[in-house]
Amino acid sequence: MPTIKRIDHIAIVVDDIPSALTFWRDALGLELAHVEDVPDQESIVAFLPTGESEIELVKPTTDTSGVAKFLQKRGAGMHHICLEVDDIDAMLAHLKEKGVQLIHETAIHGSGGKKIAFIHPKSTSGVLVELYELPTPAP
Amino acid sequence: MPTIKRIDHIAIVVDDIPSALTFWRDALGLELAHVEDVPDQESIVAFLPTGESEIELVKPTTDTSGVAKFLQKRGAGMHHICLEVDDIDAMLAHLKEKGVQLIHETAIHGSGGKKIAFIHPKSTSGVLVELYELPTPAP
């Protein structure tokens, strides 16, 4: 049975990274690990590690992406949680068998060689859930 | 400077604990640690640990609490995140000095002797943030 290992990150959609950092970094004291422009996801993303997880601030850079539409409709706020799984292919097959509605029935490639997939909020009590599996280190 | 140590839990408001568990426990494979009726919070809460954090499913038991109104207005979904802090009194004083809008300017007592306080979403890019400090063990 594939296993969930931990919360990798919580993604928060924001309208402006610098003003979001006045709380998450400057007031709360989290360290800003790095900021990355991710044109594939039409976003700028800032990563703030805490314990074994990260707070991820996501600012849309276009008006048409999923996060941009989320921001327009609901305003800034929590967007999804990402859970690390040890075997994403086995987990997706298992979830499908259980009747869970998947946005990606097979894993897609995320940044840094990660394999990722999203689960539809209809099956999760309204939470957009991302699964990811770390790339196997080169031998 | 007071320090955030980790994500303690992510709270998800649901309309029904058993049907939420068909995903979070039965499909995803998280362990259900326990279910607790919390009359003070007008809720039933189910805890599913993962790594150093927990997924917390919250079902309102009245129509009048904050979570009940959230559920009526927005439907099931992520409600708040809770961060463990090593010194909540110092953190609240520090946040106040930084101009952060606090729901509780001084910590209140949560279950099990924990000291907790909530930060207003206006200051956090739309995220309801709970802080908590573990009780000091008896000598």
pLDDT of A74: 92
Rounded to whole angstroms, how far apart are CA atoms B49 and A55?
19
Nearest of A77, A17, A91 to residue B81 by alpha carbon: A77
pLDDT of B92: 98
Domains detected in chain B: 4-133 (3.10.180.10)
Q: Is the pLDDT of residue B139 over 80?
A: no
| R_g of chain A, CA atoms, integer Å | 15
CB contact under 8 A, A26 and B57: no
DSSP assignments along A35-64, one per residue: EEEEGGGTEEEEEEEETTEEEEEEEESSSS
pLDDT of A138: 64
Nearest to B1 among A23, A29, A121 (CB): A29
Whether B7 and chain A come into contact, CB under 8 Å, resolves to yes
In this structure, are residues A43 and A49 in contact, taking their beta carbons and an 8 Å threshold?
no
Determine the residue type at A75.
G
Chain B CB contacts of A95 under 8 Å are: 27-28
Rounded to whole angstroms, how far apart are CA atoms B116 and A95?
36
pLDDT of A41: 87
Chain B, window 41-70: residues with a beta carbon less than 8 angstroms from a chain A beta carbon: 50-53, 57
Nearest to B5 among A6, A51, A98 (CB): A51
User: Taking the complete model, does pTM exceed 0.90, yes or no?
Assistant: yes
- In tens, the pLDDT along B6-61 reads 999 999 999 999 999 999 999 999 999 999 998 888 999 999 999 999 999 999 99
Average pLDDT over residues B119-135: 95
Determine the residue type at B120.
H
pLDDT of A112: 72
- In tens, the pLDDT along A80-100 reads 999 999 999 999 999 999 999
Strand partners, A80: A11
In this structure, are residues B132 and B8 in contact, taking their beta carbons and an 8 Å threshold?
yes
| R_g of chain B, CA atoms, integer Å | 15
Chain B CB contacts of A24 under 8 Å are: 124-125
- In tens, the pLDDT along A105-114 reads 999 987 777 8
- In tens, the pLDDT along B63-101 reads 999 999 999 999 999 999 999 999 999 999 999 999 999
> Residues in chain A with pLDDT < 50?
none
Contacts 24+ apart (CB under 8 A), A129-132: A129/A80, A129/A81, A129/A82, A129/A83, A130/A11, A130/A80, A130/A81, A130/A82, A130/A83, A131/A82, A131/A83, A131/A84, A131/A85, A131/A88, A131/A91, A131/A92, A131/A107, A132/A8, A132/A82, A132/A83, A132/A84, A132/A85, A132/A88
Q: Is the pLDDT of residue B136 over 90?
A: no
Rounded to whole angstroms, how far apart are CA atoms B65 and B40?
10
Average pLDDT, chain B: 95
Rounded to whole angstroms, how far apart are CA atoms B47 and B50?
10
pLDDT of A114: 87
